[in-house]
Structure 1
């Protein structure tokens, strides 16, 4: 039986977060939130794409304003980091947080949830769902502002997982559980070596000899 994309992602998730204690930046795939030993951060590249779609499809001003706010905060964080700062002043984070909540409030007024005539149930569209998510996960969305060690998005992780998709499309799917586990471990090792400026082939040879590259931790 072939293992489809969800099984590969499930194996990746288990490998990545089973013992992880830091902050996981992801695209709001709900299974990620089942790992309670780590904190979570929302990927704002995904949020920006979704906000752009809402603005184009529904012409909602709140979506445009939220996009501008997230970009403004990111630019401010980048500036502070370049100046050697490790965090943003409390008054400044409070200001941005207040603007964020104000946009959410105005968004609710701009796109109230209609009720279906036949069932009497709320009829939520993509704009309503995104607005509710941004309100519920406000801390996770703005975590990069509170902690400069947390990235604005998970683009780096997206690049790392791209090889899994290529493996699925070009080389065929995995036939069992062992294959995805081995593949993910190898790709994880290669990615770690690259991020630490190591030559991949040399690092693979060392791993085969029983002398794998292990990055130093603080």
Structure 2
């Protein structure tokens, strides 16, 4: 019997041992997930606004609860912390613990740049950024003026071309009129010259047709 038991092989692990292994694996996975700092989602594309407007910048963190949020404005390579001044130009708020909002009023061209949102966690810090572009209302007006100038220039070129072609055709028309006038004068002069001999012929023909009677003397 003992020989037969030795031939059966190793015994299968018990259920409590399997449960302990499973819990250990779950614990390791949780520790690995908690060892990484969550990512902050800002805005990938630039946010375009105009001078004098009000804008709200938003940063969120999915499935996480930061201990604290802080906003910075990017001045080149230097990040300047944003506080709440007396004139309430900047207002920091958030509807939920996993998001933060920065409200900027009365925008100017100096407010243009990159804004960073920092989140503090137990395991470390993480940040996201939002690119803000502030345009003046003269920018679309400049584009409109440029298009209008191109249209005016095109119309002026067309008008100049029409005037040039008309001037080029006018001398040829005047030449034709002069030739026609000279031809009419020649025709009139030829008509007058031809009418002279005809008139003389008309005067001579009656004389030939009715000869003068020959006077005879009484002595004959």
Which category of TM-score, normalised to the shorter sequence, fits these structures? under 0.3
Normalised by the size of structure 2, how large is the TM-score? 0.13
Larger Rg: 2
Report which of the two has the higher share of strand.
Answer: 2
